[in-house]
Structure 1
């Protein structure tokens, strides 16, 4: 029988961990009467990696994008940092987004900018517009950007390279450094390994796990590779047809759950 999640007390209450996320009855319809997300309710505590698995088209990316409001939900609540993100607009939404780092499948770098400039883009929400336009960031930000390049395994030698001169794995490392540069309380990652080869995919997941453990920042990641989810996540959420059908630790994820999530059995080895 599938394991489903249940609503928890709102993280605005005393004792909530930094980075705690509470989703209540989240629904998204791109077309009226055809929900992509069907009243999702789940809570993510402020620690570790939570992996979301499921077939293409089941709503994984829509869920991630609703959380940071790249997509507006049709209804429901998204509690983070004491606010319901689903109701925020304008400056309030921009302020909330500063604390949510995003790692994209297609890297989302500014190709014509250098590596160090792309990393510094993580501070755009914290500096005046004129500083950002002139690329005049505080010395402390520049120093931290160089430190993050070291942390993601690139180093100062890559700082002045244009983003379009990098390999896929190198671009994803820059994307992770940019997300961490925001000083986020939560990191969302939308299929960050799907464009990478198996070896690089493992390296990227190792990097994200190390950053989560070292900084204590929770990461919610959409991922197609079930083996990587089992290896690196502390919690796995399985989605099918817009609903949560499994929610538990990786070692509780069995073939019967994968059949519920993906359908059929012939692909299981």
Structure 2
């Protein structure tokens, strides 16, 4: 029996038959030949809710997220989403697929010299003609939607503020709003709280959880903070050594499971 089979909670796996699900099969990533970071990941991300991926540093959590949005090229396997294998796409089909995948980065990835509103409108670059983007002539509907999203993430009144004048928590809120501006079918967040203080971390997870619930968009969060994962996720995936070793609800995640994910007897101390 594999570690994955040993720790998986029966009956909690998402269904690959869900047309909105993200289905990962046999995913392998090697940065160096013969040294895989991901070792045949099989995972189904449901079409609703917030899935938190936890595990020690170096186990492949960020690599998994970056394979899904193709910032990293998988070495083998399938990433099936909305009728396409993302692992096989290139060129224009890949650019179209990325429009449907919102991404929230650990280091915010904002254009620092631009205003909050301009950063949000960057989320529409894949949908408007190049000349409109160059002249910053976005449709009125996009501008209104950006104002609505600023309200939704608690930044009403910040539209004209430069990004480099914001706090870390405020920048991450802009990053989330920009991802939602894409009208994504899934949102990926790579360690969105790791650079934030505890209060801001809770607020960011609250926003992601609320957006997942209210907008019906699945959210996948790579996160180190187990307590935050248990508090806000509808499902937790635990990784260790490039494998999935836990897949189940937060309230079933036990100390035994956590020792299997992180190793050692006294990791909670």
TM-score by length of 1: 0.95
TM-superposed CA distance for 1:265, in Å, is 1.7
TM-superposed CA distance for 1:266, in Å, is 1.4
Instruction: Name the counterpart of 2:264.
Output: 264
Question: For the Cα contact (< 8 Å) 2:15–2:46, is it kept in 1?
Answer: no
Unaligned runs of 5+ in 1: none
TM-superposed CA distance for 1:7, in Å, is 9.3
Q: Helix, strand or coil: the match of 2:58?
A: coil
TM-superposed CA distance for 1:267, in Å, is 2.4
Cα deviation digits, residues 219-253 of structure 1 (max 9, x gap): 00000000000000011000001000111001111
Residue 123 in structure 1 maps to residue 128 in structure 2: no
Aligned counterparts, 1:26-175, within 5 A: 26-155=27-156, 157-175=157-175
Instruction: Name the counterpart of 1:246.
Output: 246
Q: Equivalents in 2 of 1:9, 1:220: separation in Å?
A: 16
Residue 184 in structure 1 maps to residue 189 in structure 2: no
Identify if the C-alpha distance between structure 1 residues 201 and 238 changes in structure 2 by more than 3 Å, giving closer, same or farther: same
Q: Equivalents in 1 of 2:43, 2:103: separation in Å?
A: 20
Unaligned runs of 5+ in 2: 1-5
Instruction: Name the counterpart of 2:3.
Output: none
Q: Helix, strand or coil: the match of 2:206?
A: helix
Q: Equivalents in 2 of 1:224, 1:158: separation in Å?
A: 30
Q: Helix, strand or coil: the match of 1:158?
A: coil
Identify if the C-alpha distance between structure 1 residues 90 and 45 changes in structure 2 by more than 3 Å, giving closer, same or farther: same
Q: Equivalents in 1 of 2:36, 2:9: separation in Å?
A: 19
Q: Helix, strand or coil: the match of 1:260?
A: helix
Question: For the Cα contact (< 8 Å) 1:17–1:45, is it kept in 2?
Answer: no
Q: Helix, strand or coil: the match of 1:184?
A: coil
Q: Helix, strand or coil: the match of 2:266?
A: coil
Question: For the Cα contact (< 8 Å) 1:7–1:23, is it kept in 2?
Answer: no
Question: For the Cα contact (< 8 Å) 2:13–2:247, is it kept in 1?
Answer: no
Count of residue correspondences = 263
Question: For the Cα contact (< 8 Å) 2:13–2:248, is it kept in 1?
Answer: no
